[in-house]
Amino acid sequence: MNAQSIGECAGVVWRLLYGDKRRWEYKEIKAATGLSNRDLNAAIGWLAREGKIQFINLPDREEALYIELNLYIG
């Protein structure tokens, strides 16, 4: 794993989230992208560092991690 492959995985996740404006659970992203846990975690970290996604933990679902795309138009 290197910066190039992490960036490519981040691109896969970005395109998925960009195409569908909703909250995604981690397991849904994993299934839709086919990425391994390691690659998906690295991609999420990359996108989070760039401020392109946000995480939402809902009080009624302790185990759920929702991920939304941050999209700025302007």
Take residue 6 and report the two structure tokens written for it: 């992490």
Q: What share of the chain is helix, strand, coil (3-state, %, to 5)?
A: 50, 15, 35
**Alpha helices (H) in 1-74, listed in sequence order:** 3-19, 26-33, 37-49
Kindly indicate the confidence band of residue 22, based on its pLDDT and cuts at 50, 70 and 90: confident
The predicted-structure confidence for 33-66, as pLDDT tens digits, reads as follows: 999 999 999 999 999 898 888 777 767 765 556 6
If you classify domain 3-69 with CATH, what class do you get? mainly alpha
Q: Where are the chain's structural domains?
A: 3-69
